[in-house]
Every structure is written in C-alpha cells, then in structure tokens.
Structure 1
Amino acid sequence: MNLTKPDSLQLAYEGSVKRVYSSREQAETLWFEFTDDYSVFDWGKMPDTIAHKGRALALMGAYFFERLAKKEFWQKLSSSPYLKSFDQSWLQERYNHAVFQNLIKGGVPTHFKSLAQASSPVTDYKAAAAHQEPVLMEVLKADVFRPEPRNITGNTIYFYSNDLTASRRLIPLEIVFRFGMPAGSSLIERLDRDPSYVHTLGLKEHPKPNAFFPHPVIELYTKLEPKDRLLSYQEAALMAGLDSKTFEDMIELAADIALGLFVIFAERSIELWDGKVEMILADGVPVLADSIGPDELRLIHKGCHLSKEMIRQIYRGSVWETAIKDAQTRAKILPNKGWKHICKEDLGAQPEPLAPADKKIVDSLYGVIANHVIGEEVFANHPSLDEYVTSMPTKVVSTEQASAGSRKG
C-alpha cells in the first residue's frame, strides 16, 4: 500500500502534535505521524514548529520499542552498574516477579510493528532523517472507549464504559514513573500539601528535591479526560476495568520499563528523572503502546533539560504562563468555561512565538537527542550533545541539577 497517497490512509484523529491514520485494507492497524508541532502547559498547538521533531520522535520511538522488545536486554539488566545505587531488596522483588521473568524470556510486548516512509519500510535511520517525507509508525489498533461526562449537582463526573469485551483496548491511564524530584516536578507541591503522601508512593521518608529516590515510584493519571487527574490505585483499577492480576502486572511492567529506560539513558550519560508510558490491553495482557521519546520523559545532561521542560522554562514567568494559572483557578468556579477559553477570551493571553535565539536552540534539540541516543549521526549538521549543552543559556540550565549527580556504577 502506498502510504503517501491521500486515498490510501484516512485521518482518524488529529491531536496537537500527532496525526493518527487508519485504512480499510488493514483494519487492525493504525499509523502515527509525529508532526513538528509542540505543546506545553496542556495548551495545544503552539505558534512555532520545531525542526526535525516529527521524524526524530518516530525514529527514537522505534529505537526504544525495538530495544525494549529484545529479551537479551532484560537478561543483562540486573547486572547493570547503573542500578547498583537503588534499593537492592526492592529491585530483587522486581526481578523475581513473573512479569520480569517473562521479559527475560520474550522482551516487552509492544504495539509497534514497523516504520514506513513514502512507499517503503524504513531500514536506514539516516536516510529516513534526510528525506522530507514524514516517517509513519505502524502500530496495532486498539479500541478507545471515551468516558461520558455528566454534570451532577454542579460536579462533572466521568463515567467509563463497562463494555470490556474488545480483544484490544486502550487502558485509559497515563502511567507516570518518577526516579526523583527535579526542579519543576509537580510532586514537590503535592508532598508539601500532604506529607503523608510519601507513604502512598512507597517511600520510607520524605524525599529531598533534586535527589534520586531509593527506587522509582509509579503514579496514575486519567488519560481521556480534559485535564489529567491524579488517581489512587483503587480508583484507577476500577476505572480501567482491570482485575487484580492485570492491574498488578501493569504496575510491574511500568516499573520494569522505567528501569530499562533509566539504564539506556545512563549508558549515554543522560539522567532520566521521570516520564510516562501508556498501555493497551491485548487479550488480557498489558502491552506497551503510544510511543517513547523526549516528549514523554524528563531528561537532564550536565544540568541541561533535554525535553519539553527546556521549552517550559523559556515560557515560565511570561504573561501567558501567569495567565494560564489564573485561568485554571477561575475555571474551577466557572464550570461552563474551560480554562483555555478564559485565558484567551477573558484574559487576552496567548503564547508568543519563540524569540529567534531560543528558536535556534530548540530547533536542534530533537536531532541532537536522536543522534546521541541512537548512537549514530542520524541527523546531519547537528552538534554533539556536549557541544549543544555547552551552548545553553542559563535560563534552561538548572545549577541544582548539575550538582545533583547521576546514578552511575
């Protein structure tokens, strides 16, 4: 099938940074197109685009899927020197669990099938990066059951489907893993409000900002509601319609994936502080879905953010960011008005395009990361990671992070 012909694929969904296509000829398959658009603060499409972003995300996503799917990777993981400073008894529980034992036998199950560009499968990342056609990621299709919002006594309540018979369906959760609390982490504020939450996370004592935890923690958020909502494990299990074994397996798989990604980045001298994954349920088994890349992860190298956090820091303190906070507060007492509408219409605030100097820095971000992570010059004419970080302005470099140290053996 020629993937470039408009009549070959039908646009099934368009988000702020990704398009999803379907095909009548291959009903069990979807194709992701990652665009050069970006979003911060849940705003949606921003006024700029970022050079090479779409192709870099597709290539990095495929790299991570393929690496995590190899059983050999998991057979060696427990001996990695980069995990030695974690709580060893906690790690041993993960290694002994049936989920990790299955990874040793067969790798992580994923929805990823292949990459395609124009009418051909992608076999050469460098050639794909140089080509102007978008790189499409072919994945298994899963049913999505969106919750129904109902206004009950002034409160918006979301009701999730009880029809759980689909052989493949999206688990409606964003699964967030955290290795620590870097600057900008929402966990800092939550623990300040409720110090007892530390026990819910499975930690023995209140963690210090800009320091790693003894082991990663897992939090769960809504995936299909207008604003991500933090859930208790109890609420998440019921909402997602998962039995006890499946829910446990999902949490274990998320923790294992987090550890695997931590090692992959540590091998490249990059600190992974937190991130999110999504899963589908395929014949009752949790399967890694969506994609993995800088947009889903908080990455730091020598104190410099290598993810959207860099762009967030550029916009922090702006009139627009201040207006967002005000609009979100107002939206809580004006349920018929969304916070974005309030921000734009009532407060007259929208994001400005990036300044030329900031745009130049951001335009290199995804190509630099892709080259460094994949281990070859996929995107030509990009600086090395160290050269890139050295050129960073102080506003996107955290001196606290630079002194926090990395987990190395």
Structure 2
Amino acid sequence: MPKSFSTKNLRVLREPTGDRAGAGVFEFTDDYSIFHFGKLPDAIPGKGESSCRIAVFNFEMLAAEGVRSHYLGFRPPRGMEFTLLRRLDPAVRPLRPDDVNHLVPLQVIFRNTIPPGSSVLRRIELGRLTPADIGLDAAPGPGTVLSRPVIEYTTKLEEIDRFITRPEAGAVGGLSDDQLTRLEAVTRLVDEVITAHAEHLGLVHADGKVEFGRDDSGELVLVDHAGTPDEARLLLDGHHVGKQVMRDHYADTGLQGQVEDWVRSGRPRETWPAPDPLPRELVELAGEMYRSLCELWTGTRIWGARDLDKVMDRLASITPAGR
C-alpha cells in the first residue's frame, strides 16, 4: 500500500490475508512529489503513462535476468497489475525473519556516482554523514564515480523517512543477516541491468531506489517499480533526466532548506504551505522530457516526441542547473 502522498492510485482487486497474497492495480498519475511533500501544484503532462511504460519495460527486462517481482501485467495506457502484499508496520509489532506475505518497510538506495543534487553532498556538508559511512576515504564532489556501488537504507512507513544503518535496516525489515545479504545481491543485480540499458542508450544511471516484499513462501520479491525517472537519477550529457529537474527548480527557491527546517522542528506536514506552481514552460518541457525518455527507453514510438537531447538542451537553458 503506498503512502497517502503517493503519485500512484491503487485499486485493490483482492485483499491480501495472512497466508495469501492479494492483487491490485497501480494507476500512474501525472502528479509528482519532492522534499517530503504530497502532490505538488502541477501535473506533468504524460508523466504517468511514460513512467508506467518504463516500469513495465523494466520489470520484463529484469525478469529475463532472473529478478522475481510482484509484477503481473500491463494495463494500458498507465495501469500495472501486481501481487498485493500486506503492509505490516514495525511500530505496531516488530517484524520477524519468518514472516511472510508482506512489504519490507525499507527503501534501498544504490549509488553508482554522486551527481549534482545527490543527498550525499548535502548530508556531508551538514555533518549528517561522513565519507567513511559510505565506504569513501574522502568527501566526494559532484560527479564522483564510485569504484563500487554503495547501498544505503531509509525507513519506509514513517511520517518522514530517515536514513538508517545496515543493522537497523535488518531490524526494521525483520530480516536475518542472510536475508539482508540476499536483498543486497538482488539490489546490485537490478542496478547492473538498469545501468547497462542506460549506457546502451547513452545515459548515465547515477543512482536509484528499490523496494522489496516477501511472498507467500517468504522469498524476497521486487515491488513498487525500479529504474523510472522518479526513483532513478538518469543523466544525459550531464543533465538530469527526470524528477531532479523539478527538485532543482524548487531548491533554487530555497524550498529544500525550508522543508529541512520544518522537519527538524517537528512541524506537522499538513501545515506546510503549498509551493508556488512551476513556470508554465518548465511544466510543458518536463512532460516532453518524460515522453521522449519513454520512447527512447522502451524503443516504442507512442507520441512521436522530439529527440531527448533536443528537449534537454532547451530545459537546460531555463533551469537553475543549466544557467
């Protein structure tokens, strides 16, 4: 079950029970969310269908490489049917290694590079992270290429998700050390497959996020979706292709710092003022970016979008990162 501020709508086809998985359909919307906000003021035209088609393509590509997931089928143009698992909150009762048929309440983040906009840069600058925490000898700069992908964890079901250590992740997720090791191995395989496809298309796959569940037999399965421009940072010629474009705009207005202040002070999310809308041209170009990326990524012409490099050149000229 997604959080209330998810940008996907969930339709339950069959409720999961303690010993049997259910089924559901995600409808990907044109909404987006950043900085712990719910839906931001603007809808990005074509984003929902583009993201759904990329997610479906990736699940099928990953399945060919042996990655098990909850994906059941595509419901065009923006729907995806999947196995629906229970949501067990570790705040209600601790999860155990022998639990089955539930979402693992973790977000698993993998990093291949440290691009501009990465939380690593800001967390190190603010003293919340040391290079040693992620296996580095010195503080990375924007664009640092890591010799080996780094894996980090955040919580998933808390009001404000937070970074946690590997042992904490095992405890929160109710996973044994062997299960956590298996989860990391699957995460690295997902990263390798998405990265190879991106490189084939001339893109850099800087980092990404995956989530997992445990099926009726307790086996780990990939859930939600992976490698879309919402949870992966993809770059073309140094320019972000995806949600980071909107993040950069609002970071330039000071919104990111404001949100961090509100989180630190414990200000309730429902009292946060809504940000100003995006400039109209940025909304239209962002929609075109999603559609162009989808056609490039899946190899299927749907809208007859412009080549991605042309869209990104124009976007770069009007966004903070490109000025």
Q: TM-score higher than 0.5 here?
A: yes
Is 1:112–2:71 an aligned residue pair?
Answer: yes
Picking from 256, 272, 277, the partner of 2:210 is 277
- Residue in structure 1 matched with residue 13 of structure 2 by the alignment: 23
Alignment match of 1:394 (pick from 308, 317, 320)? 317
**Cα gap change, 1:280/1:60 in structure 2, threshold over 3 Å: closer, same or farther?**
same
In structure 2, do the counterparts of structure 1 residues 196 and 226 end up closer, same or farther at CA, with 3 Å as the change threshold? closer
Q: Paired residue for 2:225?
A: 291
Aligned-residue offset at 1:276: 0.3
Where does residue 142 of structure 1 map in the other structure? 85
Check conservation: 1:115, 1:138, Cα contact below 8 A. Answer: yes
SS of alignment partner, residue 48 of structure 1? coil
- SS of the equivalent of 1:22 reads strand
Are 2:104 and 1:171 equivalent residues in the alignment? yes
Aligned counterparts of 1:49 and 1:280: Cα–Cα separation in 2: 30
Aligned-pair CA distance for 1:34:
0.8
Larger-Rg structure: 1
Q: 1:142 to 1:194 in 2, by over 3 A?
A: same
Say if 2:7 and 2:33, in contact at 8 Å, map to a contact too.
yes
2:246 maps to amino acid: I
User: How far apart, in 2, do the equivalents of 1:290 and 1:196 lie?
Assistant: 28
Amino acid at match of 2:59: F
Contact 1:305–1:397 at 8 Å: present in 2 too? Answer: no
Distance 1:253 1:12 in 2: 22
Q: Hey, what's the Cα distance between the residues in 2 that align with 1:320 and 1:245?
A: 41
Report if aligned partners of 1:13, 1:21 keep a CA contact under 8 Å in 2: no
3-state DSSP class of the match of 2:214?
Answer: strand
Aligned to 1:366: 290
List aligned pairs for 1:4-403, cutoff 5 A. Answer: 15-24=5-14, 28-71=22-65, 107-117=66-76, 128=77, 135-148=78-91, 160-162=93-95, 166-192=99-125, 197-282=130-215, 283-292=217-226, 293-318=228-253, 320-331=255-266, 337-341=267-271, 343-344=272-273, 350-380=274-304, 382-394=305-317, 396=319, 398=321
CA distance in 1, matches of 2:40, 2:95: 36
- Contact 2:7-2:31 at 8 Å conserved across structures: yes
**Letter paired with 1:291:** H
**1:5 matched to which residue of 2?**
none
| Change over 3 Å in CA distance of 1:249–1:12 after alignment to 2 | closer
Query: Any idea what the Cα deviations from partners look like across 1:224-268, whole Å, max 9, x if unmatched?
Result: 111111111111111111112111100111112112211110111
**Distance in 2 between residues matched to 1:235 and 1:57, nearest whole Å:** 31
What's the CA shift for 1:216? 0.7
Rounded to whole Å, the distance in 2 between the matches of 1:269 and 1:166 is 42
Residues 14, 20 of structure 1: 8 Å contact kept: no
Deviations 1:12-37 (A, max 9, x none): 97544111111249962111111111
Normalised by the size of structure 2, how large is the TM-score? Answer: 0.89
Once residues 16 and 284 of structure 1 are traced to their aligned partners in structure 2, the CA distance between those partners, rounded to angstroms, is 26
CA distance in 1, matches of 2:167, 2:4: 32
Partner SS state of residue 392, structure 1: helix
Inter-CA distance 235–54: structure 2 relative to 1 (3 Å threshold): same
Cα deviations across residues 331-387 of structure 1 (Å, max 9, x unaligned)? 2xxxxx41551x33xxxxx2112212212211212111101111131223x111121
Structure 1 distance, partners of 2:163, 2:15, is: 39
> d(CA) in 2 for partners of 1:147 and 1:255?
26
Q: CA 1:53/1:189 → structure 2, altered by over 3 Å: closer, same or farther?
A: closer
Q: Any idea what SS the aligned residue of 1:258 has?
A: helix
Change in 2 beyond 3 A, CA 1:314/1:205: closer
Q: Deviations over 1:81-137 (max 9, x none)?
A: xxxxxxxxxxxxxxxxxxxxxxxxxx11111010124xxxxxxxxxx4xxxxxx321
TM-score scaled to structure 1, two decimals? 0.71
Unaligned runs of 5+ in 2: none
User: Counterpart amino acid of 1:21?
Assistant: R
Q: Distance in 1 between matches of 2:161 and 2:4?
A: 19
Alignment identity in percent? 27
Q: In the TM superposition, what is the alpha-carbon distance from 1:205 to its structure 2 partner?
A: 4.7
